[in-house]
Chain A
């Protein structure tokens, strides 16, 4: 690992000022960053530790939402009473990710900003547009190489990476805002909307400007109807402690056999969580039947552009959406 300087931020403003200097990065829980530093993928000259800033609380919002501090650990968020009762899909997504000991370290902001686990991105001996892009792109060996678990939606010639977060998929279904602070002041960024599609600038995972600090994630209120029939389902190569091949966060509000409202977001298929707007639009107001769920899933996945070895994800995602909505429709509230 390259030598680096370490300092602990005393407040957010000082952290933002410090990270404005070249070669400086924020350190949260470090479960991804420290690993990437060992691999030589990240080579900061200086780390600014923001894990002890007072962003470790979960607060009720007046409209019924929740404000989650950026430094709240994944395990604390999953165990929080209000999350388990009012946002069960969020608790389930967190519990589906990583391991017990990693969830104890990993933070809310770090989970959102973790990097792809694409094998080429993590191997500095290989070209990768996400690692070495910009004006002199190094290429994407994944496109013709090992891409079994990479993107089927929204990818580009430059990058076919997937975002590995489970939590982000649930947040995309719920609807959330990321609170950030930077040299230009404070702003909020919606989820979905934080993560961007790779286009011809694969280096940028998100719309955050360099040096912006995530301070909190605010959840929109979720109606009782949606929360009562919501879940997170994850298909993976082994039963636990493995990244998603395809996952779905879903909520379904059914009234008299008709879909009053629904939320569907996919993981493991794109450069960020994929909100299935097209499928949701098709389902609202229509009958809550397996046939309609399947047709909506089919319509959403009509946009898919699978690669040589990951075409199986298209029917997998379709079947996962269909079976998840079907089981939600069958559940008593």
Chain B
């Protein structure tokens, strides 16, 4: 067991850059990203895991950064919305969100896009969803119902879903 303390020294690889930082044990990954590392792309919406605005990729998988204690993520790889583009070359999902006008205020957008990146990878691994007809055999085809179900952890208070679904579909299909 390590020494008991209310602070911890941790290492996070964020968007391929290694950060050695000291964190309060109470700090969530979201607060460390925004307040300590000034990566404010990830948004704090509900702060209770219910809205998805804080969604980032941890070890390549989408996760709610607001419910992850930063100290417990020591040594892991994190990708945020800031890490998806290569310079001015947008990630295909970023480009699709612009092309489809898939946001109004934009507050949920970083979470939507990070979530969609993770969701498309999950489907690529053959993971079923609650609306997949044959969960044992059916390779999931990301039709609109599948996209809606798999993206249900990301809320948009502007109600831009009508354009979010086609934007994701363009990249996913």
| A interface, CB within 8 angstroms of B | 1-10, 14, 18, 27, 30-31, 34-35, 37-38, 46-47, 49, 51, 75, 78-79, 84-85, 88, 91-92, 95-96, 98-102, 104-105, 239-241
Contacts and interface: CB of A to CB of B under 8 A. Distances in A.
Interface stretch (B12-20, B47-55, B100-108, B160-168): B47-55
A90 to B, nearest CB: 10
A101 B52 contact: yes
Query: Across chains A and B, which 5 residue pairs bring their CB atoms closest together, nearest first?
Result: A99-B153, A240-B152, A241-B152, A95-B130, A5-B4
B67 A30 contact: yes
B47 A18 contact: no
Interface string B40-75: 000000011100100100000111100111011000
A145 B129 CA distance: 36
A3 B26 contact: yes
B135 A46 contact: no
B49 A102 contact: yes
- Grouping DSSP codes into helix (H, G, I), strand (E, B) and loop, the B interface class, with mixed when no group exceeds half, is loop
B44 to A, nearest CB: 12
B126 A35 contact: no
21 contacts: A1-B26, A4-B26, A34-B28, A34-B68, A75-B61, A79-B125, A84-B135, A91-B128, A95-B128, A100-B62, A100-B119, A100-B151, A101-B62, A101-B63, A101-B64, A101-B115, A101-B153, A239-B152, A240-B130, A240-B148, A241-B153
Contacts of A2: 26
A6 B2 CA distance: 9
Nearest to B47: A38
Contacts of B153: 98-102, 241
Contacts of A31: 49, 64, 67
Contacts of B72: 6, 8, 27, 30, 49, 51
A88 B69 contact: no
Nearest to A101: B62
Nearest to A52: B72
Contacts of A79: 122, 125-128
B29 to A, nearest CB: 10
A49 B69 CA distance: 10
B152 A104 contact: no
B99 interface: no
Contacts of B35: none
Contact of B129 (A30, A34, A95): A95
A47 to B, nearest CB: 8
Contacts of B135: 84, 88, 91-92, 95
A6 B119 contact: no
A60 B1 CA distance: 32
Contact of A5 (B25, B67, B150): B25
Nearest to A98: B153
A164 to B, nearest CB: 13
B118 interface: yes
A7 B69 contact: no
Contact of A105 (B28, B68, B136, B149): B68
Given A91-B135, A241-B153, A101 B118 contact: yes
Contacts of A78: 127-128
Contacts of A92: 130, 135
B128 A84 contact: yes
Nearest to A35: B48
B109 to A, nearest CB: 15
B105 to A, nearest CB: 21
Contacts of B127: 75, 78-79
Given A1-B26, A84-B136, A101-B63, A35 B49 contact: yes
A91 B136 CA distance: 9
A6 B25 contact: yes
B152 A7 contact: no
A240 B71 CA distance: 31
B122 A75 contact: yes
B38 interface: no
